A = this chain, B = another copy of it.
Amino acid sequence: MRKLPFPIIIFAALSLIASACASSDSQSNLGSEADQIALERSLSEADVAAALKTYTPSGVIDEYLMFSSGGHGGQVFVIGIPSMRMLKSIAVFTPEPWQGWGYGDQHHEELFAAGAVGDEVLTWGDTHHPALSETGGDYDGQYLFINDKANARVATIDLRDFETKQILKNPLSVNDHGGTFVTPDTEWVIEGGQYASPLAWDYAPIDDYSSEYRGMITFWKFDRSIGRIDPEASFGMELPPYWQDVCDSGKAVSKGWIFCNSFNVEMATGLDPDDPDNTEYFESGVSAGENDYLHIIDLDAAVAVAASGQTVQVNGFPLITMDTAIANQLLYFTPEPKSPHGVDIAPGGDYIVVSGKLDPHVTVYSFEKIQQAITKGGFEIDRYGIPLLDFDDVVEAQVEVGLGPLHTQFDDQGYAYTSLFLDSDVARWSLGPPYRQDGWKLEGTVDIHYNVGHLVTAEGDTVSPDGKYLVSLNKWSLDRFFHPGPLYPQNFQLVDISEPGPNMQLLYDMPIANGEPHYAQIIKADKLDPWTVYPEVGWDPGSMTVKPDAPQIGTEGVSRDGDKVTIDMTLMRSHFTPERVTVKQGDHVTWNLTNVETSEDATHGFAIPGYNINLSLEPGETATIEFEAKHDGVFTYYCTEFCSALHLEMAGYFLVEPN
């Protein structure tokens, strides 16, 4: 890379600078202070350009927001683009005390209980694929969905207050992967499975794999009027035990159809030293065959079948069996390159791009050809009777992009971008007509550092991608950062994709310090309109309404009914009312709190030492905690947010008299 001095590039637009410089006294003053700083820091010309493209001055708002899964951190990250600054880690499946998430708030306890597996309340998840709500195939900035791969759960986040409102346990499977993805108007939230197990993860010997183990896909009905998924209107579909992987929803011309990968059509069940039939680790066993199957699902027809009651109940949840799916022509397969990870629908809904990690090509299917093949009929069938569309009938193109292709997104110039895990590259390739007349060819690559999993472009999986920025979600960072012990951060790399042709510019490395993101979406920031404070004092974020009996100024107090004590408390800078609460050991305590502030950023916390209780009460918010006063003694509650110059004085005494 060339170092400074810069090559002198002619820009027509430079007349402003030129005229200013011309007024200077000295012809030799060709550098600015900025040049000098760059020189001292040994910044290359590309570094300087990257610095200026990503730098966001104090108080300037980022143009885009990226919503990224946190992987097995269990959260969702909100990151500004181009500054690559994390603005919030939204607490979802993992308790997070700064947000007061899961530390005593009754509403949170109800959410976590709803996400229990059997009677096991879980305190983490493996978030994989965030899905912004859409209207007409474009992000609308209202809601966000995210799955938990580890335990097959789905959460709903409201983007008015950036808080999780719902956690649902999938009744069919104990793990998932192909979620969440939404249909173009967010009627349905899709959750596909991953590792096959008996339905409802009941016990069955693994020797009965082909007969007892199953895959699944679940269609969760989203009710926008209440901002929640309605489990009562949702249903699943039984699939063969082929380890379904990523899914995507059709859009535009393919609206109403769903596409999923699979990667164990071989039905390998793992190395078993005692079993001569199973001498291969999964890593080779699941790739032993020539190809896997792209799953093609007619969702509109499936909805009608489910509505007509042609379902069975599994774990209390309606399921369309494979036989019903076959009989009603809901499900088709077609071969796909083996061990695929991406299935990505082009902006017009016309092409379905699949990346087989062990094939250097991306494979592009035509939705039109798929429909023609279905109409034509005369299918072969797989071992479970699912119709198989002939590969040659439905494929549109294959483009050689490099080693380890994994995931594809799109831009506004007719390009597609595919991550190459093994090459540690991002490939830009062109779509064919109607996107580009000279398409279906590799345009160029950009080095990334290192081992890119998914990637994301600005609104790159919608019907109208923005282009401009791409973020490469790299799994290894190696030499990129100071390494804080043996656990290295991930590396998000921002790439400028605005210039057409072979060149893309790497702009920035962002370490991820608290999770292992898998997938992300980037939305124009001005599509969101979050609240600065809650609409009214006494607002319950659980119900998203004012709570009529929330404590207000003047209604504070402590009351007792037998061994039940109720505390009504308000919080404002810089005191609690009341400042003393006395109970008896063994009392059942219901503590209602309202932050009566109406100024933005005037958050108060509320902690009780020794009781594992911490709330974060945003302006206007009310919350309730309930607990047994089992520890006697003197406990000093206090505001955990540095809310004012006198914040240390915002404290009180919780006195628990011994029995």
Contacts and interface: CB of A to CB of B under 8 A. Distances in A.
B619 A270 contact: no
Interface string A265-301: 0000111110000000111001100000000000000
Interface in A552-607: 574-575, 577-580, 600-601, 603, 605, 607
Contact of A52 (B6, B43, B78, B574): B43
A644 to B, nearest CB: 8
Contacts of A579: 270-272, 281-282
Nearest to A198: B634
B58 A55 contact: no
Given A117-B609, A487-B88, A32 B45 contact: yes
Contact of A619 (B10, B99, B263, B486): B486
In the A-B complex, the 3 residue pairs with the smallest Cβ-Cβ separation, listed nearest first, are A162-B485, A51-B55, A270-B579
Interface string A601-641: 10101010111101010111100000000011111101011
Nearest to A286: B649
9 contacts: A13-B39, A43-B55, A126-B640, A150-B640, A160-B485, A162-B484, A174-B610, A269-B580, A286-B649
A49 interface: yes
Interface stretch (A306-314, A377-385, A505-513): A505-513
Given A8-B24, A58-B506, A61-B481, 9 more contacts: A7-B32, A22-B30, A80-B481, A87-B482, A88-B484, A160-B485, A195-B651, A197-B633, A203-B657
Interface stretch (A216-224, A227-235, A392-400, A531-539): A531-539
Contacts of A21: 5, 8, 30-31
A600 B488 contact: yes
A8 B32 contact: yes
A373 interface: no
A632 to B, nearest CB: 5
A257 to B, nearest CB: 24
Contact of A642 (B163, B453, B489, B620): B453
A614 B72 contact: yes
Contact of A94 (B97, B488, B605, B634): B97
Contact of A270 (B65, B89, B652): B652
A516 B642 contact: yes
A433 interface: no
A95 interface: yes
Contact of A283 (B45, B117, B159, B575): B575
A384 B574 CA distance: 29
A152 interface: yes
A161 B485 CA distance: 4
A266 to B, nearest CB: 11
Nearest to A79: B513
A11 B30 contact: no
A647 to B, nearest CB: 8
Interface in A467-498: 475-489, 493
Interface residues of A, number: 204
Given A36-B11, A49-B34, A271-B579, A514 B89 contact: yes
Nearest to A6: B32
A326 interface: no
Contacts of A337: none
A633 B202 contact: yes
Given A52-B51, A174-B634, A516 B71 contact: no
Contacts of A600: 478, 483, 486, 488
B8 A650 contact: no
A451 B518 CA distance: 36
A421 interface: yes
A226 interface: no
A37 interface: yes
Interface string A442-481: 0000000101010000000000000000000001111111
A513 B477 contact: no
Contacts of A641: 72, 475, 516
Contacts of A161: 485-487
Contacts of A4: 16-17
B9 A29 contact: yes
Contact of A124 (B9, B103, B508): B103
A225 interface: no
A58 B449 contact: yes
Interface in A171-213: 174-175, 177, 194-195, 197-198, 201-206, 213
Contacts of A479: 59
Nearest to A174: B609
A123 interface: yes
Interface in A406-429: 406, 421-422
Contact of A13 (B16, B36, B269, B477): B36
Nearest to A533: B486
Q: Which of A52, A203, A610 has the largest count of B CB atoms less than 10 A from its CB? A: A52
A646 interface: yes
Contacts of A478: 600-601
Contact of A530 (B485, B601, B614, B640): B485
A620 to B, nearest CB: 8
B163 A634 contact: no
A633 B201 contact: yes
A618 B652 CA distance: 44
A251 interface: no
Given A162-B485, A600-B486, A645-B404, A638 B175 contact: yes
B78 A488 contact: no
A436 B478 CA distance: 45
A421 to B, nearest CB: 5
A540 interface: no
A339 interface: yes
Contacts of A70: 98
A22 to B, nearest CB: 7
